Copies of this chain bind each other. A is one copy, B any other.
C-alpha cells in the first residue's frame, strides 16, 4: 500500500502526558523529539513537592490540588499516588492525539544503532488504518515494502481507523511480579520489526508505558481506574483501560495496533512491592478476562461515552459479586464520563458502526 510519504509532526494536534513523582531529567534525552510538543505533567504524589522540568519545554503541571479544584467531587475518580492518575492528563488535553510515556523510559536504538523516534512511529501507526477483521501474515500491510498477501479479501483492505498505537520496550520487559521474581535477570533484547493489528474479538495486555491514541476516537474510554492510595490493587490501571478500550474499539469498528516503536525501559520496579499491589489482580483477572471476552455492548451504543457507561453497568452487574471494589470501580467509571463530558463539552466521539465484513457488490 502507498504509505504516507513523510510523517506529519502534528505538533498542534498532540499532547504528551507524563505521570511522575520526580524531576523530569529523562526529558533531556527526548529533547530532539519532544520539544515541539506540549507536555501535560501529572504529579502523582505529594502536591507540595516540586517537580523540576528541564528548560525549553512547553508544559503544564497538574498536582492533586489542581485535580480537586478542577473536578470537585468528581476528583474521586482520579487515582492518587499512582501513575493511574495519568488519565487526568487525557481529560484536560484539548488535542486530537495523546502520547503517554513513563519517566523511566529512554530513547531506544534500532538494530542499526540509530535513535528511535518513538513518537514519529506512533503517529505513522495512528494515521494508517488497522485491519482487525482478518490476519495479514506480512504484518502491517500499510508499511513500505509490505502489502496484503494472497487470500486477503479485497473488501477488507481499506481497513478501519486506528484508535490506539501500543509501543513496546527493550531492556526491562513489562512482567508481572511473579515473573520478575522468577526471572530477575531477563532482558528484552529482541527487536521485532513489526506492527500489527490486534484482531477483533481478541483481548491484549495494554501497557501504559509507551502508548499513543486518538483522543477524539477513543479518549473517553482511556480511564485508568482506581488504583494506588486507598485502593486494594495497583498495576492494573493500564490493563483495565486496555480491556475496556479493546471491547469498545471492536464494537465501534476501530483498530488497535501493537509492536513498533520501542523505547528503552531503564529500571525494573521492585518485584516485592509489585506483588503486594498485584496479588488481588492476579486472582481477579481470572474473572475479569472471561467477563470482557463475553461482554456484548448494545447496538444503541454508538459513541464511546455510551459504550463506556454501558460497560460500567455491566461491570457492576457481573463483577460486583467478585469483590465490592468492582462496584466502586463501576461508579468511578461513570464519574469519569461525567467529568470528561463536563470538560470536553463537544467531544461526543462518533465511531463508525460498520461492523464486520463490508460486502462488496459482486455484480451478480
Interface residues of A, Cβ cutoff 8 Å to B? 111, 134-139, 143, 145-156, 166, 168, 173-176, 178-179, 183, 186-194, 198-207, 235-236, 238-239, 242, 258, 278, 282-283, 285-287, 289-290, 293, 356-357, 359-360, 362
CB distance from A143 to the nearest CB of B (A): 8
- Could you list 19 A-B pairs, sorted by A, with CB under 8 Å? A134-B202, A135-B198, A135-B202, A135-B205, A136-B204, A137-B258, A143-B190, A145-B186, A145-B189, A146-B190, A149-B175, A149-B205, A150-B205, A153-B285, A153-B286, A192-B192, A193-B193, A199-B199, A293-B356
Is B151 a contact partner of A242 (Cβ separation < 8 A)? yes
A150-B235, A192-B193 given; A202·B199 CB < 8 A: yes
The number of times this chain is found in the oligomer is 2
User: Which residues of chain B come closer than 8 Å to A239, judged between CB atoms?
Assistant: 150-151
Most B CB contacts (10 A, CB to CB) among A134, A151, A166, A235 go to A151
Across chains A and B, which 10 residue pairs bring their CB atoms closest together, nearest first? A151-B205, A135-B204, A151-B239, A199-B202, A150-B176, A192-B194, A201-B201, A153-B289, A149-B174, A150-B174
Give A43 Cβ to nearest chain B Cβ, in Å: 24
Given the interface pairs A173-B147, A201-B201, the reply to whether A289 lies near B134 with Cβ below 8 Å is yes
* Residue in contact with A138 in the complex, picked from B188, B206, B285, B293, CB distance below 8 Å: B188
Known: A150-B176, A188-B145, A193-B193. A362 touches B201 (CB 8 A): no
A293 near B174 (CB under 8 angstroms)? no
Complex contacts, A238 vs chain B, CB 8 Å: 151
- For residue A201, give the distance in angstroms from its CB to the closest CB of chain B: 5
Q: In whole angstroms, how far apart are the Cα atoms of A145 and B174 in the complex?
A: 13
What is the CA–CA distance of A282 and B204 in the complex, to the nearest angstrom? 32
Query: A147 and B175: CB pair below 8 A?
Result: yes
A307 to B70, CA, bound (A): 59
- The answer for the CA separation of A168 and B194 in the assembled complex, in Å, is 14
Are A154 and B286 neighbours in the complex by a CB distance under 8 Å? yes
Please tell me if the beta carbons of B201 and A176 are within 8 angstroms of each other in the complex.
no
Once the chains are docked, how many angstroms separate the CA of A227 from the CA of B153? 19
A360 to B285, CA, bound (A): 11
A140 to B176, CA, bound (A): 17
Whether A360 lies near B151 (C-beta < 8 A) is no
A206 — which chain B residues lie within 8 A by C-beta? 151
Residue of B nearest to A287 (CB): B362
**Residues in B neighbouring A362, C-beta threshold 8 A:** 283, 286-287
A287 to B361, CA, bound (A): 11
> Inside 8 A of A173's CB, which chain B residues have their CB?
138, 146-147, 149
Within the complex, the shortest CB–CB distance from A189 to chain B, in Å, comes to 6
A255 CB to nearest chain B CB (Å): 13
Which residue on B lies nearest to A195, using beta carbons? B192
